[in-house]
């Protein structure tokens, strides 16, 4: 019950140097309370920063699973084509720490309103 009363804040995520897409506004909700880190090696500091600024829960997507419809956003470290397209295809706002642009078999799903890349800490600000 207490979780339903939680107040979430929004952040604006802009592309970093050499990046593509965005800006994205990420605002978690009781239905979408997770900032999911799909980076390996635990929760990426950028995912933790977004969670801290918004009031969301940072979640290690390699250790366990969260349903797509519970993700406020996902932070990835993909320089290739797989993860870059999977989350936008599922309509999950996707933040890539690498400066990638649409490519690969899922590129039609990688749109500026769902994807931003090259993101560093300084590219995330309260909305």
Domain range summary for the chain, segments of one domain joined by +: 9-126
In contact, 84 and 58? CB cutoff 8 Å: no
Query: The pTM is what?
Result: 0.93
CA-to-CA distance for 109 and 127, rounded, in angstroms?
A: 25
Percent of the chain with pLDDT over 70: 93
User: Over the chain, what is the mean pLDDT?
Assistant: 93
pLDDT for the residue numbered 80: 66
The C-alpha atoms of residue 14 and residue 50 are separated, in whole angstroms, by 13
Per-residue pLDDT tens digits for 44-97: 999 999 999 999 999 999 999 999 999 999 999 976 666 688 999 999 999 999
- Whether 78 is catalytic is yes
More confident residue, 106 or 33: 33
For residue 45, give the H/E element and its range: helix 45-54
Among 78, 84, 86, 114, which one carries the catalytic annotation?
Answer: 78
The pLDDT assigned to 1 comes to 45
Find all residues with CB under 8 Å of 108, minimum gap 6, and list them. Answer: none
């Amino acid at each position: 019950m207490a979780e339903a009363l939680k107040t979430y804040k929004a952040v604006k995520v802009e592309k970093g140097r050499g990046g593509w897409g965005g800006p994205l506004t990420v605002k978690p909700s009781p239905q979408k309370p997770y900032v999911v880190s799909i980076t390996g090696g635990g929760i990426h500091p950028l995912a933790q920063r977004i969670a801290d600024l918004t009031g969301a829960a940072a979640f290690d997507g390699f250790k366990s699973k969260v349903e797509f419809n519970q993700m406020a956003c996902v932070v990835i470290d993909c320089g290739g084509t797989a993860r870059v397209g999977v989350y936008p295809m599922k309509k999950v706002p996707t933040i890539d720490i690498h400066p990638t642009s649409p490519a690969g078999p899922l590129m039609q799903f990688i749109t500026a309103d769902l994807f931003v890349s090259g993101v560093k800490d300084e590219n995330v600000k309260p909305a």
